[in-house]
Structure 1
């Protein structure tokens, strides 16, 4: 189980989406408990279009203070949503997510989008300073609750993610 805060970031333009459900399920199965925070980026609204909005700042600080963050988006035009990009742009490049273990998750309508998370979202999270020790997970948006992809990912990669999240940014045991 992960002791540090666990957060889910949802980049779906629809609040309370299947993307949120899948990300929360993945966070719970990896961390061994429900996430402490869910940032549904759609709820941040027009505050994402500038700098210094109090709600956006609070959301950014919550994410940056987390030990494990599941960052989830539906696949739009073969990549993550512009809404998620607006939120992630609020983080300082190279250091904004330093000390955070990130798990990229993308949902899509067809398997042809399966590499979008690995090709686009995972590198972005690393660029922001996050540690991304496991591959991105892709799930079909209509079947994720009924298939075993999330459970299989948590079984395979959960130990690596939990161990990595238990380390401080300097690599010493917390």
Structure 2
């Protein structure tokens, strides 16, 4: 039962990556097994014969839980994440529980995970039983948005943890 984080931030080792890893740990009750920082692939994301990208896609398809994270760009997720998602066939994530996560500078973008990322994940077959999560990037470490989301979604998160065989993270 693997837990994977996929981050579409064009900046390596970004706040988005740190926040997504924290969300995965809080949801799963343990750190993620795999963190895929898409910026590390560079132009390989455009090369459909890249074995490294194919391996990352395979890890996502075989995961139990995936946090898909991106900064908010122009009110939506990044092209970097879009390039990766385009590599996944329709329905290929049917056994995956997905958490859509976007970080951004202003709560006015707080519907972006629901409006733009969650529908793409559904098209790929993923189940997203929680609301999409938006976190203000400048306060991601204290994140009142994450605390409120965790409290609201706790009944659903308990079912996810039960499936993973874990308990809530402290």
TM-score w.r.t. the length of structure 1 is: 0.89
Q: Which of 141, 145, 149 matches 1:145?
A: 141
Residue 50 (structure 2) aligns with: 53
Residue 132 (structure 1) aligns with: 128
Give the Cα–Cα distance (whole angstroms) in 1 for the partners of residues 72 and 154 of structure 2: 24
Q: Which consecutive unaligned segments of at least 5 residues does structure 2 have?
A: 164-170
Give the Cα–Cα distance (whole angstroms) in 2 for the partners of residues 153 and 68 of structure 1: 17
Matched residues, number = 164
Cα 1:31–1:129 change in 2 (3 A) is same
SS of the residue 2:68 aligns to: strand
Q: Pick the structure with more helix per residue.
A: 2
Cα 1:52–1:28 change in 2 (3 A) is same
Residue 171 (structure 1) aligns with: none
RMSD across aligned positions (CA): 1.6
Give the Cα–Cα distance (whole angstroms) in 2 for the partners of residues 67 and 162 of structure 1: 14
Give the Cα–Cα distance (whole angstroms) in 2 for the partners of residues 89 and 41 of structure 1: 13
SS of the residue 1:52 aligns to: coil
Cα 1:158–1:64 change in 2 (3 A) is farther
Residue 33 (structure 2) aligns with: 36
Q: Is the 8 A contact 1:100 1:165 kept in 2?
A: no
Shift of 1:125: 0.4
TM-score w.r.t. the length of structure 2 is: 0.91
